[in-house]
Structure 1
Amino acid sequence: MTTATMGPIVAFVIIASISGGAVGAPYLGKFIGKLSELHHGVSGEVYAVDGRTLYLKDFTYDGQGPAAYFYASTSRNANSAGFRLRDENGSGEVIKRYRKEGVTLTLPEGKTLNNIKIFYVWCEEFEVNFGDVKIPRSLDYPRPQKIEPLKGVHAISSDNIVIVDAQTLLIPNLSYDGEAPDAKFWVGRGPKPSPQGIRVPDENGKEVPLRRYDRKTVVLTLPGDLTVFDIGHFGIWCEAFTVDFGHVQIPPNLNVPPSLKMLGVSPQKRPRNFDISREVSRPRVPLVGGQLEATTFRPNRQFHNIFQQPNQNFLIQQQQLLTPQQIFAQQHQAQQRIDQSVYHQQRQPVPYTPLNLQQRQYQEQLAYNQFLQNRRLLEEQQIKAQLNRQHNRFDLPAGGQNAYAQFG
């Protein structure tokens, strides 16, 4: 990441989450209430993460109960008629001692926060309630939210974008012609993109110029500790020419789940049956492109230099094992990378303003089309010269002379 983009990230991190409450308070979902402190030091705050997941903040229990379990019930009373919840590790054993710990719990299959009315810590041996919290009726628990589709120049389009959780975006059926030299996924404050925005790594965790997409469903993770509460827009931005190719606004006060990273849950500690795709697949927010879970993937922040040239000795060794056609293909790809690097260095970005947006888009497209035309002419000349050189080095197969003749 460049120095120019580090500043906004630092600023975003210290801003309070719009839905998270006080300054510096982490966003953990919808606050339900505090556990009643009845026995064995039980205490803590309870949050709804999504329709099937609860998070206990600063949960405390002395571990001295003989047969204590996490429980929930469809009635309003804490009693033996309820059902067990597995602990944060997916274990059904008696719960251990806790000291102000964060605990993520998942309701059993077929149960949601729509049909349970109380959560409690229950001792099965003596049928005693150690502490409970009531679940409000018609609880508006966090769930994925749909926003506007992406539309713009360079054939950019998508279906409605889904904000899966506070750090995860799903872009269904994304299309982009891949012709721009330096397009990136981009976020920032305010309703429109600007050069002060932040790159978002692609679905492979890389910050390289975007390739062509043909109605592909893409899942993106916001970098670092950045959340949807810190940004006002998402889109595709040409960093070299400071041009907005298309964006959507991120609504404020979104009631979406926190990411697993925000809950301190790693992929290895992911609770059993923790599947946010059930919320995405509800009729309100249809899932496109198969199963999807909340993600804790954090891409490597090291910038990948796509113009780095391979070791020449290695190339010479490899050429001894390749056919002439394979050599031509390798050198053609290397020349494309060099041409794009030179093209970037020659073009100096012009400061972005809304008034010159359409003019800049036209100039950028015109300049790039001229560049492509010049490159094609150069490639024809290089191929003819290369064929002539390779003809003297290799025994070309039948048709090799004909292939050369078409350029004569």
Structure 2
Amino acid sequence: MANLKSLLVPLLFLLSSSLQAFAIDAGEFGVEIGDFGGQTVAGKVYAVDKNTLYVRGFKFNVRDADAFFWAGKENVPSTSGEIVRYPAEPKTPDPQKLPVLNDVAFILKLPHGLTIKSLKSLAVWDKTKLKSLGSIVIPENLVVPEPRVLPEFSRIAHGLRSGNVTILDAKTFLIPDLHYDGTGPDAYFLVGNGSKPHGNGVKVPNEHGSLNVLHGYNGETIVIQLPQPLTVYNIEWLVMWCIKYNHNFGYVRIPKDLNVPPALEQNKTGVRVLISIP
């Protein structure tokens, strides 16, 4: 028994150490904060990034209420909170009262100056009756997803260079100050797995969503998105590669210890408001 224990202890240590290097996958919707879970107000709330919430399966069944989403800096909602606009892209200058909603999903953007970590609660607040119709507490130890800044592309061939690449969300890369002479006859962005890039990766559309051969770049900042079903959690590198000549022009490695926002198209259209559960 003692011999078995002596073998298991170092094995468990190695296992736990290796697990620490892996990502906190924010999942499809973000990191779950809580569930309203009431009869009047129901639905789960997720942290997308420091300023953005995703609400899923939301139900609100009070007609003509003077009700708004309410960001509070106390665990128990009070009059000192601040309105969080719904919808996130309002059509009027003044915040709109919450209508009756049934099983919908949408993004909420926090007011300027507020972050998820600066809050302690999110409520549906009746401004006339000065009371909460339902609320969740935001945990102090919540790990909020955030974009991850990577090194620049390695400089191998054809004048390829860039600024630091940023993973904006689970499917989106921002590549600033991109330079490439455009003379590669069969060059594409590829992603894949392995200790080093190779030509058997998956093609990634360019900044226009096209899979045409890459043209030259002269300092542009571009945004590219991984094709379905890929995310940054299941790839190990992004490379510019000439397939015809099997040539690596330059690449950047994807770390394993990621906790980036989910891909809810917030980096594609600014804000996405859904009207049904995806």
Both structures adopt the same fold (TM-score exceeding 0.5): yes
TM-score (ref. length: structure 1): 0.55
Give the secondary-structure state (helix, strand or coil) at the position aligned to 2:207.
coil
Partner in structure 2 of residue 46 of structure 1: 45
Q: Identify unmatched segments of 5+ residues in structure 2.
A: 1-22, 274-278
CA change 1:67–1:266 in 2 (3 A) is farther
Would you say the 8 A contact 2:88–2:109 is kept in 1?
no
Distance 1:100 1:224, change over 3 A: same
- Which residue of 168, 185, 196 corresponds with 2:189? 185
Query: What does 1:133-144 align with in structure 2 at a 5 Å threshold?
Result: 133-137=136-140, 139-144=142-147
Aligned residue in 2 for 1:19: 25
Name the structure where strand makes up a greater proportion of residues.
Answer: 2
- Rounded to whole Å, the distance in 2 between the matches of 1:31 and 1:168 is 21
* Corresponding residue for residue 166 of structure 1: 170
- Aligned partners of 1:63 and 1:98 also within 8 Å: no
Partner of 1:251: 255
CA distance in 2, matches of 1:127, 1:232: 51
After TM superposition, the score normalised by the length of structure 2 is 0.79
Distance 2:179 2:211 in 1: 18
Q: How many angstroms does 1:253 deviate by?
A: 4.3
Decide whether the 8 Å contact of 1:192 with 1:247 is kept in 2: no
SS at match of 1:88: coil
Deviation per CA, 1:380-400: give whole Å up to 9, x if none.
xxxxxxxxxxxxxxxxxxxxx
Look up the match of 1:60. 59
Alignment of 1:244-323 (within 5 A): 244-261=248-265, 267=269, 270=272
Which residue of structure 2 aligns with residue 34 of structure 1?
35
1:115-143 Cα distance to aligned partner (Å, 9 max, x none)? 21110111222223222111122543122
Unpaired runs of 5+ in structure 1? 1-16, 22-26, 272-408
RMSD over equivalenced CA pairs, Å: 2.5
Query: How much does 1:36 deviate?
Result: 4.5
Read off the aligned partner of 1:29 and give its amino acid letter: G
CA distance in 2, matches of 1:90, 1:212: 36
One-letter identity of the residue aligned with 2:33: I
Which residue is equivalent to 2:133? Answer: 130
When residues 140 and 217 of structure 1 are mapped into structure 2, their CA distance, relative to the original with a 3 A threshold, is: same
1:114 counterpart SS class: helix
* Residues 3-402 of structure 1: pairs in structure 2 closer than 5 A: 19-20=25-26, 27-37=28-38, 39-40=39-40, 42-64=41-63, 66-91=65-90, 92-137=95-140, 139-151=142-154, 152-261=156-265, 267=269, 270=272
Q: 1:267 to 1:157 in 2, by over 3 A?
A: closer
Give the structure with the larger helix fraction. 1
Q: Which has the higher contact order (CA 8 A, sep 6+)?
A: 2
Deviation at 1:186, TM superposition (A): 0.9
| C-alpha distance after superposition, 1:21-41 (max 9, x if no partner) | 5xxxxx11222122242x52x
Q: Deviations over 1:127-173 (max 9, x none)?
A: 23222111122543122111121112222222221111122111122
**For residues 211 and 160 of structure 1, what CA distance do their matches in structure 2 show?**
20
Residue 267 of structure 1 and its aligned partner are, at CA, apart by: 3.8
SS of the aligned residue for 1:148 comes to coil
Secondary structure at the counterpart of residue 158 of structure 1 = coil
Q: Could you say what secondary structure the match of 1:247 adopts? A: strand
| Partner Cα separation in structure 2 for residue 204 and residue 69 of structure 1 | 38
- 1:357 alignment counterpart: none
Q: What is the deviation of 1:64?
A: 3.3
Q: Computing the radius of gyration over CA atoms, which structure comes out larger, 1 or 2?
A: 1
Deviations 1:289-327 (A, max 9, x none): xxxxxxxxxxxxxxxxxxxxxxxxxxxxxxxxxxxxxxx
Could you tell me how far 1:20 is from its partner in structure 2?
A: 4.6
